[in-house]
Each structure stands twice: as structure tokens, then as C-alpha cells.
Amino acid sequence: MVAQSNFTYVEARDPAISRVLHKALRERELTKAEISRLMNTNDIIDLYSIFSAAQRIREKKFGNDVFPYGFIYASTYCRNHCVFCFYRKPNVKCLRYRKTPEEILEIASQLKKSGVHLIDLTMSEDPLIHDEKHFGSLVSLVKRIVDDIGLPVMVSPGVIPRRIIRDLAQVGADWFALYQETHNRELFDRLRVGQSFDARMNAKLQAKKEGLLIEEGVLIGVGETHQDRVNSILAMKRIGAHQVREMGFQPQPNTPMENCASPPILDEMKFIAIMRITQPGKLIPASYDIDGGKGLQLRLMAGANLVTSLIPPRSGLAGVAQSKLNVECGLRTVKGVEPYLEQIGLRFASRKRYIEWVKENKARVHMS
Ligand code: SAM
Ligand code: MD0
Ligand code: SF4
């Protein structure tokens, strides 16, 4: 057990859960039945205990350090029909824009000045790139960000061909992010209408083979069962994703799921905590994009160690789940969220620390 901790482990009420958590605190691998046991509890003391164990485990691996990620949503034009997403092709009521490379570089440099450790270049599956095969423009944009900004870069471009993934690795990208949303194939088909489960999974595995770090993610509250959630946690672990996340579903106007409810924050927290308990050394985001600062703290208190979706004010950029939340007033910045961290005994790490993490993990990407 950790001596001298900022985070106290609180004993569970259910002796079986207590046994599982003690096993995890001793860094032993949990079985599927043990993970299900954690997933199935709704007892508040047991949940509190799970969060406290997750915070202890994060502390062992990362101390009090949290890493801030900057977010650039470069194009909101999409060819796809994902039923949960505001930017799906048939939504005529969403704001579409396409930032130029100059605008993107300007935003990336503002983000760097504001103190982020990584630039996440995200885009919808823009038909101009994906259908017209203008992948070269994506690769040259990433190269310019890598060369001019000098921070680690994550690319979230949707499903792209393997040779383009290789080109991205060659020009110096560090991360490839592509969320499966669910590892239940039937549910996938209902959510990502007309898309291939295998093509999406393979792109991620190929990225890893090309030497990129990969991020995997799951949507919570879209009709999945507890068993699906457990299966997703095991699948994320199996593919050796370096960053693992959940996104709580947020209903979007003018989409097929506009009348579906968001999941309770406790479900998201439980998922985060179990990811931390089962994958201690991985990066786990608390997204600002779901419900701002308060939600950020709860996610960090469940074991997350990244703040994602920081956006510079007055950049004219959108978020994804909360397209406008606190962008213009500047609260979605490193300085704006720092007080939330300090209140719960955490702090932003140095950029050097993050760059070292990336370097170490990239060096053994083929073994993970
Ligand atoms: N277009 C690329 C793709 O789909 O991979 C990258 C951007 S996409 C908007 C990034 C992620 O946002 C999706 O994979 C999904 O997990 C999340 N997302 C989209 N709509 C959401 C919603 N309504 N609520 C929560 N998360 C959402
Ligand atoms: C986020 N809205 O960080 C962003 C996005 C894509 N790589 C990230 C889903 O929450
Ligand atoms: Fe397009 Fe991505 Fe939204 Fe799906 S989740 S509609 S691919 S932007």
C-alpha cells in the first residue's frame, strides 16, 4: 500500500468488492468476473471506495500530475450518419466550417502559449479529404503543426488508409485517436450507420503497427448493457491502447437521438474508475466537452489524469458534445480550469513530464 498519500482509500461495504479493490491496489490483474462485480454495484459506499482506489492507483503512477490537451476542430463537414452526432451529414442545422492551414497554425500557437501539452487535431470525415482523396493536405498540415509548433500532436481524422497513417507517423505525429464507441457489433451498426466495425478497429491497430500511440474510446448511455461496458474495458486493454476514454452521450438537436437522455455522471465516473483500476499506467481524459468544470472535477476524482478539449477564446472553433460551452468567455483554457484541479489536490504537470511520457511510450509501442 502507498505510504503518505494525498488520497485516502475508503473501505467498501461489500466484502467481495473490497477483496477486488485490495487485489487491484496490489497491482494484480483482475478477472472478468471481478471487473463485472465492480461494474454492477450501485451502492454509494462501494462506489466511493472504487473512486478512492482509482485515485490511489493514479497517484502511484502519476503523482498529482494532470496533463492539459488543446483541441482544434478543423472541419465540421462530415460524410457520415452517426446517429448520436451533431455534425452528421443530414443535419442541415449545424454550423459547418473548414479552417485553413494558416488559421489552424495560428490557433495551435495560441494553444501552445496558453500552456497545453498536446495539440489534438480533430475533424469530421470531411468529404473533401475522404471522398476526393485529398489526404495529402492532411499530411502536410500535420507536418506543419509538428514542425512549427513543436508540441506532441494527436490526429483524430476518422478512418483513413494505412499508407496515410504511415505518412502521418513519418511526418512526426505522435497519436492516432479513433473511438470504436462500443465493442458490441450490433450496437455499433445502430450508432455508426453504414460504417464498418472492422475497418475502424483495423485502422487503430495499423496506427499502432506504424509506431503511433493510440487512443480508444467508448460512448456511455447509448443503449449498452453493463456487460457491454465490461467487454469494452477488456477490449481496450487487449488492443493495448495508450489512452482510453469514455464520452457520456449528450443529446444533439436535430439528430435521431435528440430525445434520448444523457447517462448519469455516476455511470461515467464508474467507467473511468474501472479503466484506471484495470489499466493503471494509461492516460484517461476528463473531457471539458461534456459538462464543464464541475464535471471535470468529478471525472478527475474518479481517476482521470488529462483535461481535454481546451479551446482558445474567440477562435470561432466548436467543441463536439458541447459545441459552444464556455468557449468564447475563455473559461475553456489552461488558466481557466487550473483552480478546479487545485481544489481537489491535483495540478498541471510540466510540459517536459508529458513529453517524456510520450517518448518512453512511443519507444515501446510495439511491445504494448
Ligand atoms: N469524425 C471523427 C470520428 O468520428 O472519429 C473524429 C471526431 S468525432 C466528433 C469524435 C468523437 O466525439 C466521437 O468518436 C464520439 O465518441 C464523440 N461524440 C460525438 N457526438 C457525441 C455526443 N453527442 N455525445 C458525446 N460524445 C460524442
Ligand atoms: C474531447 N471533444 O476531447 C473532444 C474530442 C477527439 N480526439 C476529442 C471528442 O472531448
Ligand atoms: Fe462524422 Fe465523427 Fe460525427 Fe460520426 S462522430 S458524424 S464521423 S464527425
SS3 72: strand
Query: For position 99, what pLDDT does the model report?
Result: 97
- Predicted confidence at residue 1, as pLDDT, reads 47
295 lines ligand 2 (CB under 6 A): no
Q: For the residues 333-360, what does the mean pLDDT come to?
A: 95
Higher pLDDT among residues 327 and 12, named by residue = 12
Using the atom order of ligand 1, give the atom closest to the CA of residue 181: 16
Give residues with Cβ within 8 angstroms of 256, minimum separation 6: 83
Query: Which ligand is nearest the CA of 191, by number?
Result: 3
* DSSP one-letter string for 115-175: T-SEEEEEE---HHHHTTT-HHHHHHHHHHHHHHH-S-EEEE-SS--HHHHHHHHHTT--E
pLDDT for residue 252 is more than 60: yes
Nearest CA owner, ligand 1 atom 25: 249
Q: What is the mean pLDDT of residues 162-178?
A: 98
Cα atoms found within 13 Å of the Cα of residue 166, Cβ hemisphere only: 3
Closest ligand 1 atom to 84 CA: 23
Q: Which amino acid would we find at residue 321?
A: A
- Residue 188 pLDDT grade (very low, low, confident, very high; cuts 50, 70, 90): very high
Q: Which of these, 272, 263, 270, 230, lies nearest to 32 by C-alpha position?
A: 230
* Ligand 1 neighbour 73 (Cβ under 6 A): no
Q: Helix 15-25 vs helix 44-62: angle between axes, to the nearest 10 degrees? A: 0
Domain parsing of the chain, residue ranges: 64-367
The pLDDT tens digits of the residues spanning 8-27 come to 999 999 999 999 999 999 99
Q: Residue 201's pLDDT is what?
A: 98
Q: Among 128-142, 191-205, 236-250, 320-334, whose mean pLDDT is lowest? A: 320-334
Residue 2 has pLDDT above 50, yes or no: no
DSSP letter for 214, please. E
| Percent over 70 (pLDDT), the chain | 99
* Ligand 1 pocket, residue 124 CB under 6 Å: yes
- Contact status, residue 99 vs residue 138, Cβ threshold 8 Å: no
CB 324 within 8 A of CB 318: yes
C-alpha of residue 87 to centroid of ligand 2, in Å? 13
- The ligand minimizing its distance to the Cα of 304 is 2
Q: Is the pLDDT of residue 225 over 60?
A: yes
pLDDT beyond 80 at 139 = yes
Q: How far is the CA of 58 from the centre of ligand 3 (A)?
A: 31
> Where are the alpha helices (H) located in 150-256, listed in sequence order?
162-170, 185-191, 197-209, 226-238
Could you tell me the pLDDT band of residue 30, with boundaries at 50, 70 and 90? very high
268-295 per-position pLDDT tens digit: 999 999 999 999 999 999 988 877 777 9
Domain 64-367 has CATH 3.10.20.30: no
The closest-lying atom of ligand 1 relative to the alpha carbon of residue 255 is 23
pLDDT-derived band at 324 (thresholds 50, 70, 90) equals confident
Q: Atom 9, ligand 2: which residue's CA is nearest? A: 320
Contact 211, 362 (CB under 8 A): yes
| The pLDDT of residue 250 | 95
Ligand nearest to the CA of 219: 1
- Cβ atoms of residues 193 and 205 within 8 Å: no
Question: Residue 3: its pLDDT value, please?
Answer: 54
Evaluate whether 334 touches 116 at the Cβ level (below 8 Å).
yes
Cite the DSSP H helix spans in 171-312.
Answer: 185-191, 197-209, 226-238, 265-278, 288-301
pLDDT higher than 60, residue 262:
yes
Cβ < 6 A, ligand 3 pocket: 78, 80, 82, 85, 87-88, 124-125, 158
Amino acid (1-letter code) at residue 7? F
* 176, 289, 324, best to mutate for ligand 2 pocket (most atoms within 8 Å of CB): 289
Q: Do residues 170 and 60 make contact, with C-beta atoms less than 8 angstroms apart?
A: no
